[in-house]
Amino acid sequence: MRLGQTLPQLAELGRATRAAMREYGEGPAAVLRRMRRLRARGFTYTEAVDEGLLDPAMPDGVRGRYLSRHVREIRQNVLNPLSLEDFTEEKLTFARYAESLGIPVPRTYGTAGRAGGWNRVAGRMVTGPDGFARMVAEDLADEFVIKPVLGYLGLGLRVLRRDGAVLVDQDGRRIDAAALHAELDADPAFDLFLIQERLHNHPDVDALHASPMLQTSRVTSLVTAGGQVRMLFVSLKVGTGTGGADNYRVGETGNGVAYVDLDTGLLGPALVPRPGRLGPIPASELDGHPIEGRPMPLLAECLDLVTRHAHAFLPMRTLGWDIALTARGPVVVEVNNFWASPHGPLTDEAWDLFFRG
């Protein structure tokens, strides 16, 4: 058993070392030494490579402010009781709660999937493909979103618009309501889907980077032991990839992320995974369209919204709020217990808050 775990680790170490040696022109001893230090801080070898932490040009002070997933999740489990995970992670309960508190969220139209169809708009249950088709035809807006209530990383998300008698998803696939019902019913991973309003980007967000996908801001909050709400970091997810969601998903989606300087309110560069990984590069090197130095739209409104409502989720003390920046103001799309900060070292202040706040 131990050998079974060790061999893949050695293979991963070998791959990561070779990649770093090739990229940075260093000898194996220097790469391995750095790797060992990162491993002691909980980074997997692949994680260290993907984050670009083996780059010898990265100052140790910056490298030291990156959070490994392992260490981050240990601390998140201390700050957020695990048994209450679904308080935020289960999207229907979250939407229901947020609505009742007056937190702006996308309108909930109902649910679908083999576990239960519900037409909230018309006030009836939805059974069978005919009932679902009737709901789509009579009670849903021309555009809507379907996502698993226990989904994550944008998996299973469908952004749909009506085109005559059929629906068209974010990839241009055409499907009728009955076939969509059959797909949702047969989904092997998720048995209940939330149907909700489709939101659109604020014009100022489109002006930064035009994208058909909703580009949300991530506001990461922490309620201190004294009850103060503080922000660990704020970022904007930039829809440089494909698919319906702006999730970064360890760089797999091709989407980017830009961090906000909380002192100035200005955006840093939109970072996207370097081709072949090994850390990020500014997206502008790929598309020639820099956003660095431009003001983050609706930043003050987002911070105010989170500050006013973070207490409502206690004892969950640290949350990553996905907030859509829309023409009607910030709208909270999701809240995450296990937030991450890809390519984003924490500031000294945020580090201190996260571990001692």
Partner 1 sequence: MARIGRAAGQVRALAEATCTARRTYGASPVPTLRRARRLRTEAGFTYDEALHTGLLDPAMPDARARRFVSKDAVTRLSDRLNPVALITLTEQKAIFYRVIGETGLPMPRLFGLVGRGGGWAGDGRPVPVGPAASAVFLASGPPEEFVVKPSGGYHGLGVRVLRRDGDELVDLAGARTTPAGLAEELCADPLWDVFVVQERLRNHPDLDTIVRSDTLQTLRVTTFVTDDCDVQVVHAGMKLALGGGNVDNFREGTTGNALVEVDVLTGELGTPMAPAPGGLGLAPARGEVAGTEGVRLPGWDEVLALARRAALELLPCRNIGWDISITTRGPVVVEANRSYDPWPSAVFGDVVREVDRAHRSGGRVAGRTA
Q: If binding is defined by CB under 8 A, does position 87 make contact with partner 1? A: yes
Shortest distance in whole angstroms from residue 71 CB to partner 1 = 17
Q: If binding is defined by CB under 8 A, does position 196 make contact with partner 1? A: no
Task: Please give the torsion angle defined by the CA atoms of residues 177, 183, 186 and 190, in that order, rounded to the nearest 10 degrees.
Answer: -100
Give 106's DSSP letter.
P
Q: If binding is defined by CB under 8 A, does position 123 make contact with partner 1? A: yes
Minimum CB distance to partner 1 smaller for 3 or for 82: 82
Task: Give the number of residues written for the chain.
Answer: 357
Shortest distance in whole angstroms from residue 177 CB to partner 1 = 18
Segment 172 to 191, residues that bind partner 1, using CB under 8 A: 190-191
Q: How far apart are CA 49 and CA 246, in angstroms?
A: 22
Q: If binding is defined by CB under 8 A, does position 103 make contact with partner 1? A: no
Shortest distance in whole angstroms from residue 202 CB to partner 1 = 28
Amino acid at 236: L
Among 51, 59, 54, 17, which Cα is nearest to 34's?
54
* Candidate list 12, 55, 73, 90; residue touching partner 1; CB under 8 A: 90
Q: If binding is defined by CB under 8 A, does position 129 make contact with partner 1? A: no
Q: How far apart are CA 75 and CA 112, in angstroms?
A: 35
Q: If binding is defined by CB under 8 A, does position 86 make contact with partner 1? A: yes
Shortest distance in whole angstroms from residue 312 CB to partner 1 = 8
Q: If binding is defined by CB under 8 A, does position 192 make contact with partner 1? A: yes
Q: If binding is defined by CB under 8 A, does position 144 make contact with partner 1? A: no
* Candidate list 25, 227, 275, 288; residue touching partner 1; CB under 8 A: 227
Segment 284 to 313, residues that bind partner 1, using CB under 8 A: 311-312
* Candidate list 32, 205, 213, 223; residue touching partner 1; CB under 8 A: 223
Output Rg (C-alpha) for the chain, integer angstroms: 22
Q: How far apart are CA 250 and CA 158, in angstroms?
A: 20
Q: How far apart are CA 91 and CA 102, in angstroms?
A: 16
Among 293, 157, 150, 311, which Cα is nearest to 229's?
311
Minimum CB distance to partner 1 smaller for 79 or for 175: 79
* Candidate list 2, 40, 225, 288; residue touching partner 1; CB under 8 A: 225
Supply φ then ψ for residue 116, to 5 degrees: 160, 120
CA quadruple 171, 92, 95, 335: dihedral sign: negative
Minimum CB distance to partner 1 smaller for 90 or for 287: 90
User: Taking the CB of residue 115, how many other CB atoms lie within 10 A of it?
Assistant: 12
* Candidate list 37, 41, 65, 124; residue touching partner 1; CB under 8 A: 124
> Under 8 Å CB-to-CB from 66, ≥6 apart: which residues?
43, 51, 53, 345, 346
Q: Which residues bind partner 1 (CB under 8 A)?
A: 78-87, 90, 92-93, 96-97, 100-101, 110-111, 113, 115-118, 120, 123-125, 127, 148-150, 190-192, 223-227, 311-312, 314-315, 317
